[in-house]
Chain A
Amino acid sequence: MSYFMTHLHSGWHVDQAILVEEDRVVCIRFGHDFNEDCMAMDETLYGVMEKVQNFCVIYLVDITEVPDFNKMYELYDPCTVMFFYRNKHIMIDLGTGNNNKINWPMSDKQEVIDIIETVYRGASKGRGLVVAPKDYSTRHKY
């Protein structure tokens, strides 16, 4: 579903996208459109895009086309989702140990909506770190 969504084609566009947003969360997916994980994630993100449009805007960034942030944001995973609010990187405690980003594909739309809403609520109160409604640590799987 990536072709229905807005892509950012340079570092400047990414920066502008983050800078112009006054009262919405900016959610950026870094990865490749052809990657399987990204496809799954894009599917979900596309599904929730309309629902969260009042408080979140979602962009896609190709990390080969825009390699500027690869080192800065450690974009080594096939699919990474990060959140910004008023030019501030919002961290989420997902229980995975990496609070900076979501680096696995999510297929449950409601979970994604919940996370975005939590980020929005926390960020609009001035928090830099929010706690995800669900614990995504892998230890529960075993």
Chain B
Amino acid sequence: MSNVGTVKHIPKETRYNFLQMGAPASYVAGLGRGASGFTTRSDIGPAREGPSAEAIAEAMAKRGEEVPDPDALQDPDDERNLFAGTVYEADDEEADMIWESVDQRMDARRRAKREASEAEIAAKERAMNPKLQTQFADLKRSLSGLNDADWNAIPEAGNLTGKRRKHNLRLEENQNGRSYAVSDTVLADAASRNVILGELDAAQQEVSLNSLYTRRQTEHIQNGGYETPAGDGTMTDFVSIGNARDKVLSLRLDQASKDATNGSSTSVDPRGYMTALNSQIIQTDAQIGDIKQARQLLQNLIQSNPKHAPGWIAAASLEVHAKKMVQARKIIAEGCEKCPKSEDVWFHAAELNTPENAKVILGKAVQHVPQSVKIWLKAASLETDTTAKKRVLRKALEFIPNSVRLWKETVNLEDDPEDARILLTRAVEVIPTSVELWLTLARLETPENARKVLNSARARIPTSHEIYIAAGRLAEQSPSAVGDVKFEDDAARRQALAPQVDKLMAGAVARLTKAQAILPREQWLQEAERCETEGSPLTAQAIVKATIHLEVEEEDRRTVWLEDADRAEKGGFYEVARACFVVLLETFPKSPSVWRTAAEFEKKHGTPEAVQEILAKGVEHCPHAEVLWLMAAKELWVGGNVKGAQEVLARAFQQNEDSESIFLAAAKIAVETGETEAAQQILQKARAQADTDRIWMKSAVLERQLGKLDEALVTLEQAIAKYPHFDKLHMIRGQIYSDRNEVVNARNAYAQGCKACPKSIPLWILSSRLEEKAGVIIKARALLEKGRLYNPKNDELWAASVRMEERTGGPQQAKTLLARAMQECPTSPTLLAMGIFMENPQQRKSRSVDALKKAPDHAVVIVAVARLFWGERKIEKTRQWMQNAITADSDWGDAWGWWLKFERQHGEKERQEAVISACEKAAPHHGPTWQSVSKDLANVGKSTREILELVADRLE
């Protein structure tokens, strides 16, 4: 069936003829193409591999074919069937004998001839390829003629196979050339397992095993101790060897693991043991081998090239490494003799010897190499006595007068500044190029002389910026050195000094530029910062002023300088930052933003006077920058100088005649100081000049505050006619009416407002509140709904609706409304927080988890959670969550109010105070309750503390 399952090529015309043909009789489906099934769902029914044998047989029978008999085609020789069961009898045997004899007879015929022909063929074969043995057969035969002496004279054959070499290599590889002494326990164990060995005495066992272990069988066998049968037995007992080896390994592993875990064994203090091990000098074979080899190498080196100093040093260090100090000293002494001109050799010799000997050695050394600073310093360091040290160093300076290091050491040893000064004076004469020495000298001199010193230093080293900076600092610290002026006041002194230092630094930079030794600006700034940290602010400023313009393109000067200032400010280098600002302000006097940044910087880190000074200058340069005017006025006002503030604002008016914000600021100051008339006048003027919606609103508010409600209403009418789309005007009007209980008017006002500004949410809420107050709940509800229609997805309106329902319609209605609200604004924190408290107490917790998930960092939700904890009397937890709420949004006044309320109930006085002071610092502005309290007319002008207390009272 070789064609089963192959796709034959059938011409296209006849290919699909089968569709019209009938199927052959009893065709087995799938068989014709050798199809096989699969089993994936044996739970439903059995699958099978193609058609089964029975199906095939059945089909064949149907087709009329002979079903083949399985036994039909058997091997006839295999007497499986015919005689399979019979017994071998006597006549059978006889028959076999007869057949045997026939065979023999046939074999005997022509035997001679056959054998002859076979022998001939064999001989031919042998001749064709002869055996080695037969080739040397004659030589072998002649061996019989040799006598004993001849035999002895035959040389031994060398081992040319390389077998031994290979063997050794393997040994080394496996064991690193080591052999192990086997521990007694292993031997005992192996012995007890091996019965044959039990018959031998212990010594023999040990040696035999040992011998096996160290693999030196040959040696021991040569010794001849093991020609016993037991010895032979051990030779082949590989099992015990394997066991012993395993045991050794396990012992070693145990030990290793104990070491690793720092000792589980109790008898040994593991740490002590380890330290003992550390202190031991372990010289492994490899190290010793290395040392030996290195020693030989170095020996060769110093013998072949005795004038090579490093060779001697290396040889000596090797001996030191091998802990042979005597040998090392000997070698280095020899080295000193051979290379007396090498300072290193002498130095090492001194190192290797005791201090007394070292002194002698160094004494010799300076005779040979008097110019070596190293040796002189070593000699000085060996002296314990200061005077002796001084003596050595002085001597050294005689030989080497131009070593900065020696001079410094010498000067350092001097206790008396006067002596040091004299020494340094001499030093700078000898070494005029050392900046360090000059600076040290300048530091030691009196200010007048220091100036001279620095001047001469500058003359000698025109490329050193350090000298210039030192000069600047000197000028700053001791002004008498520069001029004979005395100042009582520190600030005055600074002011007088600053230009001098600036000039000095500018000159310095110019000269350094000339000398082509100018530093990159980054480095200059670092120098300035260092000067500031070392207490020379003026020098720091001078450096900045002189160098900040370096390497900056014309166009990005401003950004780069601002960055510099910012970085300095962050690093805490305020003087540097101030200097940056000074330069900035000088360069960009017309830029209000620069003035503002500078003022803010001074506000943060400087005195109020400095701020005012900067702002005053700023408004001079940018008279149209309202921000600067306002800042200046505010600074003055905050500082308590109301008059000054008013003056500033008056000046601001002159410059900016129709500026809304300045008018408002002026009016605010007037109101705050109680000059309401003035305020009204100002606002009237503002209405005429600036004529903006805010001014109108403010004037209406002022009139309302003053109780002149009718006037306020008149103003509002005018304002609304002008600005019908400013919602606050409508709100104020409505509030005034509702305050006066003129519901109809208020309603009209709100209706007009809602029509003009349908997007104003407070307006909608206020108007609905009015209706609610008036008792017309349906209208209130309708208004809010209308508001929602205009402002979809607005959670404030929804919250207002829900609250109104809560107040009037009962909790159930509020709940359904809230559900609708949540559908529209699913992540609104206000609604989520409301939702928590509208649930019954059991479900509040899960609701709060939900809310936290949806709006995780909103103060409203966090406060709601805190209140839940509060309800459960979990004081600490509540406090923590209150803190969280504040961290999330410190501008949210309600959170502060809740916290204070909580602390009033559960906390001590100190905690309440802490909350209040923290709140004062944060100065919150937002939060519905907070805003309603702080904007209440009754609370105008109250401090944060008072408002916070009011809020805490109002919250429920």
Contacts and interface: CB of A to CB of B under 8 A. Distances in A.
A15 B29 contact: yes
Contact of B19 (A6, A18, A68, A76): A6
A19 interface: yes
Nearest to B37: A72
Nearest to A98: B40
Interface in A62-78: 66, 68-69, 71-74, 76
B23 A73 contact: no
Given A13-B19, A72-B35, A74-B45, A22 B7 contact: yes
Contacts of B50: 72
Given A15-B33, A72-B47, A74-B47, A20 B10 contact: yes
Contact of B44 (A6, A20, A74): A74
A107 interface: no
Contacts of B32: 12, 15, 19
B41 A73 contact: no
Contacts of B28: 11, 68
B19 A19 contact: no
A13 B16 CA distance: 10
A92 to B, nearest CB: 13
B38 A11 contact: no
Given A13-B23, A15-B33, A68-B29, A20 B18 contact: yes
A18 B15 CA distance: 11
The DSSP consensus for interface residues of chain B is loop
B47 A71 contact: yes
Contacts of B23: 9-13
A66 B23 CA distance: 12
Contact of B38 (A9, A10, A22, A100): A100
Contact of A71 (B27, B33, B37): B37
A20 B30 contact: no
B9 interface: yes
A21 interface: yes
Contact of B7 (A12, A20, A69, A89): A20
Interface residue range, chain A? 20 to 34
A40 interface: no
Contacts of A66: 29
Given A12-B29, A15-B30, A68-B29, A21 B48 contact: no
B841 interface: no
Contacts of A8: 19
Given A12-B24, A15-B32, A20 B16 contact: yes
Contacts, number: 86
Interface string A15-28: 11111111000000
Interface in A84-132: 86-87, 89, 98, 100
B6 interface: yes
B5 A71 contact: no
A14 interface: yes
B5 A87 contact: yes
Contacts of A69: 29-30, 37
A19 B8 contact: yes
Nearest to B15: A20
Nearest to A21: B7
Nearest to A68: B29
B810 interface: no
A74 B38 contact: yes
Interface in B334-366: none
A66 B29 CA distance: 9
B707 interface: no
A98 to B, nearest CB: 6
Interface hub of A6, A16, A21, A69 (most chain B Cβ within 10 A): A16
A89 B27 CA distance: 21
Contacts of B40: 74, 98, 100
B46 interface: yes
Nearest to B12: A22
A73 B38 contact: yes
Contacts of B19: 6, 8, 13, 17
Contacts of B5: 87
Nearest to A59: B19
Contact of B37 (A17, A19, A74, A86): A74
A18 B27 contact: no
B457 to A, nearest CB: 84
A88 B232 CA distance: 69
B676 to A, nearest CB: 72
A5 to B, nearest CB: 12
Nearest to B10: A20
A3 B30 CA distance: 25
Interface in B32-85: 32-41, 44-48, 50
Residue among B10, B24, B34 with the highest chain A CB neighbour number at 10 A = B10
A18 B10 CA distance: 13
A76 B43 CA distance: 11
13 contacts: A8-B19, A11-B28, A12-B27, A13-B19, A13-B23, A15-B29, A15-B35, A16-B18, A20-B8, A71-B46, A71-B48, A72-B30, A72-B47
Interface of A: 6, 8-22, 66, 68-69, 71-74, 76, 86-87, 89, 98, 100
Given A72-B36, A74-B40, 16 more contacts: A8-B19, A9-B23, A13-B19, A15-B33, A17-B18, A17-B19, A19-B7, A20-B8, A20-B18, A69-B30, A69-B37, A71-B45, A71-B47, A72-B30, A72-B48, A87-B33
